[in-house]
Structure 1
């Protein structure tokens, strides 16, 4: 069922924003001819290009209006007016068009930041890789030059509506404060510009705007739209059941724990920690494997990222001297048993969930090798390097032939490496 419509001022922007949403498991389509609307009935997200960036404002207004009016029943659809990440084009005219076409006091929420592309808004100034946009090549654009870096000024010059501004210090206080600020500003303004420096800031803005229960349209280069769509999907308990990333993490290093906890802080994964010492007991090993597998199967429907890890805190790390006294096992023997158990878990989960799993992330020692042995794979079709020593491949042979997989050592990367690898896998799955 169609839930989100993205109206972009060019085709590249339409596809780009659509790709961000596709990474979250939504079925996204870009329509080239409006006469083909019937071919997109089973899509969650529909992207439309008005090709209106370099034309007259009045013409851009009409094209956006016509695009929005393709949808007779607009209730229940979240609309996004995708704008250029450097604010070129008919930003104000297109804002006016979309809020007037949607009607009922629709408020435009402008979040110009696109952190993954180096665009951030601080103090109402749009920075491109740390440089005010007016000091970049965009100022010399032949059709849509940008002569000021002040976001509200750009919008005010082009829109007939009053423009309010919410600063970064308010955004940093979280979704509850954002909700109150949005409700207050919306009393006297139809357009609200908001600062954001990070994706987490944008996620908080999305939560605050949805919680405000205002009727609003997203005006942004894509990240804000994706965040709102994610909040709406979670709220309605309609997270997609295909393309999930399953992470099996056997490393117990400090860096690995930092990576898992950073993923938890910045995203919304399902994280299940094993009672690792049970793997060393022959009578408890299979019971613990089954416990973890069953917990994932019971909860997976609400998550697009599933994580199995042996430690979240330093106290979770096995005391090998105690283990040797109890079980007579060396450190190497313990490691082999643990990695085999993690491999068994990700194998069983993948086997049970089938097509719901779109890709595997394997970290730590021999987890990936043990997993491949269990599925009778014969090798990897190596495709890319996500970061040094984190490699993206496709599995060759075995019961999951062609499955995307990222393999990484436990002592590789920085705190954001896991989230980078997960996002990379989502992008490859979406393709």
Structure 2
């Protein structure tokens, strides 16, 4: 049975949430017709999304639709329940959340994170802002079917729900997940069944999800999809792919954006990472060889356990960075000579891994110098460019050389948002697995 059940008030919202989950390697089904639904169809599915088409209808009818679906789908194996709401708070918010809370039981609490940062929907001070404007000053206020004239999130729920409602503001998020978890537990103990939380960024969403896990509360996630996806990521291991093709990410960039992107990748899905100790690469030929082989062996010893592997320079963390200028001065050589030695190590690691394990069919590389070194070491004549993955990230296949046809995605270290590496890796996985 599915481990995640999301009930949405419309089809497009259900699909939008399902796509977020699919990007993180979860199988997701949108179910449209309860009368034709056979629960056996869902046995191999991680996440089920059910749209009730209830945004613009009477509150009582919306309540009954959501209640019926929740009673049909809920089961003891489910780890995440979600109520997908409109990103601009249209519809029967309180009535539909009430329906799920009553279906799930009195020990459940609804955590409302009505935030979609990449679409410029945030909640600050309890108020929703859309592209910097309070909700009631946007076109949503004159929506012909479901207008919203109040930007205060808790108040919109309060007008419809029969349950006590409380808010957690940005100042509470500043104290970290344990403090936030204590706030949630305290508000729940006071009898609040719906808790609205401020949120302006993906970092906030992840923090709230961490606090939920720390609190041990039974939670109904209420949001436009991002918070639900974050909670799923923390609670449910994604289904393993049957295909054996693997992806190797080689990252030598020390750009701060790269660190954030890698941490997002490591959090979002199963993968094996091995850090390259860059200082060891510069201590002599013997140490260089030992470090290269150590990383290769560390990857290959777990090669059957994962599909995605990352080789990362430890210089992404400032305390590990080498001052190339000072080192070059002390050795009376050029910075380029030292940099080339490091880049060659990353290329050699990648080559040895691909040489010994033929299931690696895709490479992601970040940082121009590392990418050039990999192409040289692989003796490729060039790349047959195929398509743009995202701005400043390209996909191609190696021409000739030691691994002809090897899929490769290259990206500059500073390019893209927090999900840039996830998107590049997902692109490669789709090329190799579909």
**TM-score, normalised relative to structure 1:** 0.83
Q: CA deviation at 1:48?
A: 1.8
Q: CA deviation at 1:190?
A: 1.0
1 CA distance for matches of 2:69 and 2:386?
Answer: 42
CA contact (8 A) 2:386 2:395 kept: yes
Cα 1:322/1:166, change in 2 over 3 Å: closer
Q: CA deviation at 1:64?
A: 1.4
Identify the match of residue 88 of structure 1 among 77, 87, 90.
90
2 CA distance for matches of 1:79 and 1:352?
Answer: 43
Q: CA deviation at 1:156?
A: 0.9
| Corresponding position of 1:419 | 418
Matched, 1:335 2:334: no
Identify the match of residue 165 of structure 2 among 163, 183, 186.
163
Name the SS of the counterpart of 2:96 in structure 1.
helix
Count how many residue pairs are aligned between Structure 1 and Structure 2. Answer: 415
| Corresponding position of 2:366 | 362
CA contact (8 A) 1:8 1:50 kept: yes
CA contact (8 A) 2:126 2:197 kept: yes
Could you tell which deviates more after superposition, 172-181 or 370-379?
Answer: 370-379
Identify the match of residue 381 of structure 1 among 362, 380, 385.
385
| Corresponding position of 1:32 | 32
CA contact (8 A) 2:111 2:194 kept: yes
Cα 1:275/1:101, change in 2 over 3 Å: same
Q: CA deviation at 1:341?
A: 2.0
Q: CA deviation at 1:44?
A: 1.5
Matched, 1:148 2:139: no
Matched, 1:227 2:230: yes
1 CA distance for matches of 2:429 and 2:68?
Answer: 29
Q: CA deviation at 1:174?
A: 1.4
| Corresponding position of 2:256 | 258
Q: CA deviation at 1:379?
A: 1.4
| Corresponding position of 2:181 | 179
| Corresponding position of 1:10 | 10
Structure 2: gaps spanning 5 or more residues: 268-272
Q: CA deviation at 1:308?
A: 1.0
| Corresponding position of 1:58 | 60
Cα 1:131/1:180, change in 2 over 3 Å: same
2 CA distance for matches of 1:353 and 1:14?
Answer: 40
Q: CA deviation at 1:104?
A: 3.8
**TM-score, normalised relative to structure 2:** 0.83
CA contact (8 A) 1:250 1:363 kept: yes
| Corresponding position of 2:218 | 215
Cα 1:402/1:97, change in 2 over 3 Å: farther
| Corresponding position of 1:345 | 349
**Deviation per residue, 1:15-50 (Å, 9 max, x gap):** 211222223222223233442543332122222211
Name the SS of the counterpart of 1:186 in structure 2.
helix
Matched, 1:313 2:323: no
| Corresponding position of 1:78 | 80
Structure 1: gaps spanning 5 or more residues: none
Q: CA deviation at 1:428?
A: 3.3
Output the aligned Cα RMSD.
3.4
